[in-house]
Amino acid sequence: MNKFQNFGLSSVLFEGLERMAYTEPTPIQEQTIPLALAGRDILGSAQTGTGKTAAFMIPLIAQLLKDVQKTALVLTPTRELAAQVATFTQKLLGRKSAIETALLIGGEPMGPQLYTLKKRPRIIVGTPGRINDHIIRGSLSLNKTGVFVLDEADRMLDMGFGIQIEAIANHLPAERQTLLFSATLPAAIMRLTQTYLNNPAQVHINAGHAPATNIQQDMLNVTAETKLPELLKELDKRSGSVIIFVKTKFGAEKLSRNLRDEGHSTDFLHGDLRQNRRSKVIKNFRERKHRIMIATDVAARGLDIPHIEHVINYDLPQCPEDYIHRIGRTARAGAKGFSLCLIAPQDRRLWAAIQHMLDPKKNQRPAPERSFGERRRSGYRTGNRNGFSSQRDRAFFGERDKGPNGSSNERGAGNGDHRAGSNHQYRNRTSGAYEQRPHTNNGSSNYRAGKGNGQFSKNRRRDGAVRPARFNTGDEIDNAGKTHA
Ligand code: AMP
């Protein structure tokens, strides 16, 4: 029996679910929908790709159907995510619905948004900057808002939207339902929860820093010289759609040119592109007009393109948490996906930080940058000192492993459970040997947020949000926050 029936949803929503071909609720939906239908505020922690959008949109629509005076506001960190949520909403409601949805995002001309607002939309989806612009110019009134959704709240704080959220919340009625979803629950999110939510029910799905279990994660050691040739080889070996993450806008364009020169069908996405260009790139990729999309972290979150089979981290993310978000672009809705990290010697510390985040118990905090230089000078052979093989190797999480000397060291998830976080050792898939994880700690654990050489510091913003840790690169890292308001 269709479990959605247990929720007592209206026929409008049932028809919508049928249109979407959703037959069973996902775990986050199963837990969130009944609580939200009962009017509870929700603090939800869930990874991307778990069905979060329907988890808040189904009860939101149910509330609007129940009370025709009510409106709803959904805030998302990026324009792309807002557009995706708005499209989902329209699909769920169907063309004949009397409930209008408005998408209010930056980078788009005001005119069409003002026109849509005149039609008195009851669902507003947008990014904080543009929503505030409309409030200030008097084109948007929020005094009937019965449901307020903060989607990807941790990302919004990372992007510096804390103050904007506060300004928006000041215009909301005190009596309302608030649903907050966040991939992580750092202190800043808990403060946000205390400020804006009223006795929330907590829903945690796969909480913590664990990627979806159906993603096979590999790593490949490269050098500056071999990085591009190795990428080309990987692209030739793989079939299906690929998203390649790079660090900078310049890097995205350059890599796209390089791959096109080699005959690949690619396009690139970053925060400096005009919004209509960004939308077009995503649309083309969604429609498989290009096999490869090269993107900065502007595309790391929320983007739901079910046919993405491979996520390649050509450059590692600057913020370890973004690793989870990036690889979450594949293996959507239960499909199998593959991820690959290309690790150059200078990336070891970042890589170690990712390992530590995935499994703090097994992976020590990364050592200072200095140690990589030492290793590089010693011919990129890390040998027994840190258990990193001098062979070119690949990682394969969640499999039984052997030590670097070949001794059997079978552990944990030999049952085929590829859960990063449960077993972080790597298999050299080319040689078939098993190797220890390449953690870079040299025995002393002296990684400390905001301390040390300052290269991996967590900077606190005035609004209490933690800025993503950054490396100083010389080339401008794509700061999605600047371009998404
Ligand atoms: P989201 O986390 O909301 O971005 O959803 C991730 C993917 O799961 C999207 O492609 C959704 O269409 C899909 N999805 C969400 N809920 C369900 C469901 N109950 N049944 C099937 N697919 C779903």
Q: H or E stretch including 324?
A: helix 320-327
Please state the rounded mean pLDDT for residues 71-88: 94
Q: 52 in ligand 1 pocket by Cβ < 6 Å?
A: yes
435 alpha carbon – ligand 1 mean position (Å): 36
Whether residue 230 is predicted with pLDDT greater than 70 in this model: the reply is yes
Please state the rounded mean pLDDT for residues 7-28: 92
Q: Please tell me the predicted confidence (pLDDT) of residue 374.
A: 38
Whether residue 463 is predicted with pLDDT greater than 90 in this model: the reply is no
Q: 271 in ligand 1 pocket by Cβ < 6 Å?
A: no
Dist CA 35 CA 201 (whole Å): 7
CB 453 within 8 A of CB 469: no
Six token digits for residue 113: 């948004």
CA-closest candidate to residue 200, choices 135, 141, 153: 153
Q: CB count, 10 Å around CB of 448?
A: 11
Please state the rounded mean pLDDT for residues 410-417: 27
51 alpha carbon – ligand 1 mean position (Å): 4
Q: 48 in ligand 1 pocket by Cβ < 6 Å?
A: yes
Taking the CA of residue 302 as reference, the ligand 1 atom at the shortest distance is 4
Q: Please tell me the predicted confidence (pLDDT) of residue 424.
A: 34
Whether residue 402 is predicted with pLDDT greater than 90 in this model: the reply is no
**How big is the CA angle at 241 (ends 354 and 434), to the nearest 5 degrees?**
45
Q: 332 in ligand 1 pocket by Cβ < 6 Å?
A: yes
Domain 215-343 homologous superfamily, CATH: P-loop containing nucleotide triphosphate hydrolases (3.40.50.300)
Q: Please tell me the predicted confidence (pLDDT) of residue 470.
A: 32
Whether residue 420 is predicted with pLDDT greater than 50 in this model: the reply is no
Q: Does 415 or 17 have the greater pLDDT score?
A: 17
Whether residue 372 is predicted with pLDDT greater than 60 in this model: the reply is no
Q: Please tell me the predicted confidence (pLDDT) of residue 77.
A: 93
Dist CA 31 CA 249 (whole Å): 39
Residue pLDDT, tens place only, 128-137: 999 999 999 9
Q: 22 in ligand 1 pocket by Cβ < 6 Å?
A: yes
Q: Which of 6, 14, 32, 50 to mutate to test the pocket of ligand 1 (most atoms within 8 A of CB)?
A: 50
Q: 51 in ligand 1 pocket by Cβ < 6 Å?
A: yes
Please state the rounded mean pLDDT for residues 95-119: 95
Whether residue 462 is predicted with pLDDT greater than 70 in this model: the reply is no
Please tell me the residue having the least CA distance from ligand 1 atom 18.
22
293 alpha carbon – ligand 1 mean position (Å): 22
Please state the rounded mean pLDDT for residues 280-293: 94
Please tell me the residue having the least CA distance from ligand 1 atom 19.
25
In the predicted model, what is the mean pLDDT of the chain? 77
Please tell me the residue having the least CA distance from ligand 1 atom 15.
51
Whether residue 154 is predicted with pLDDT greater than 50 in this model: the reply is yes
Please state the rounded mean pLDDT for residues 172-197: 93
| 159-163, 353-357, 432-436, 479-483: range with highest mean pLDDT | 159-163
134 alpha carbon – ligand 1 mean position (Å): 31
Lowest mean pLDDT among 140-149, 320-329, 447-456: 447-456
Please tell me the residue having the least CA distance from ligand 1 atom 14.
51
Distances (CA, A) of 310 to 314, 325, 412: 12, 13, 26
Lowest mean pLDDT among 237-241, 243-247, 365-369, 478-482: 478-482
Dist CA 467 CA 330 (whole Å): 25
Q: Please tell me the predicted confidence (pLDDT) of residue 370.
A: 42
Q: Please tell me the predicted confidence (pLDDT) of residue 366.
A: 60
Whether residue 123 is predicted with pLDDT greater than 60 in this model: the reply is yes
Q: Please tell me the predicted confidence (pLDDT) of residue 481.
A: 36
Q: Does 35 or 458 have the greater pLDDT score?
A: 35
Strands 434-435 and 426-427: antiparallel
Please give the span between the terminal C-alpha atoms of the chain, in angstroms, as a whole number.
43
Domain boundaries, the chain: 3-205, 215-343, 400-485
25 alpha carbon – ligand 1 mean position (Å): 9
Q: Please tell me the predicted confidence (pLDDT) of residue 35.
A: 96
Q: Please tell me the predicted confidence (pLDDT) of residue 271.
A: 85
Where does the pLDDT of residue 406 fall: very low under 50, low under 70, confident under 90, or very high at 90 and above? very low
Domain 3-205 homologous superfamily, CATH: P-loop containing nucleotide triphosphate hydrolases (3.40.50.300)
Whether residue 468 is predicted with pLDDT greater than 50 in this model: the reply is no
Taking the CA of residue 84 as reference, the ligand 1 atom at the shortest distance is 4
Residue pLDDT, tens place only, 382-399: 322 222 222 233 332 222
Where does the pLDDT of residue 25 fall: very low under 50, low under 70, confident under 90, or very high at 90 and above? very high
Same fold yes or no, 3-205 and 215-343: yes
| 171-175, 272-276, 451-455: range with highest mean pLDDT | 171-175
Dist CA 264 CA 281 (whole Å): 16
Whether residue 428 is predicted with pLDDT greater than 70 in this model: the reply is no
331 alpha carbon – ligand 1 mean position (Å): 11
Where does the pLDDT of residue 293 fall: very low under 50, low under 70, confident under 90, or very high at 90 and above? very high
Whether residue 26 is predicted with pLDDT greater than 80 in this model: the reply is yes
Q: 91 in ligand 1 pocket by Cβ < 6 Å?
A: no
445 alpha carbon – ligand 1 mean position (Å): 41
Q: 333 in ligand 1 pocket by Cβ < 6 Å?
A: yes
192 residue type, one letter: L
| 32-36, 43-47, 267-271, 406-410: range with highest mean pLDDT | 32-36
Please tell me the residue having the least CA distance from ligand 1 atom 20.
22
Q: 404 in ligand 1 pocket by Cβ < 6 Å?
A: no
Whether residue 471 is predicted with pLDDT greater than 70 in this model: the reply is no
Please tell me the residue having the least CA distance from ligand 1 atom 21.
22
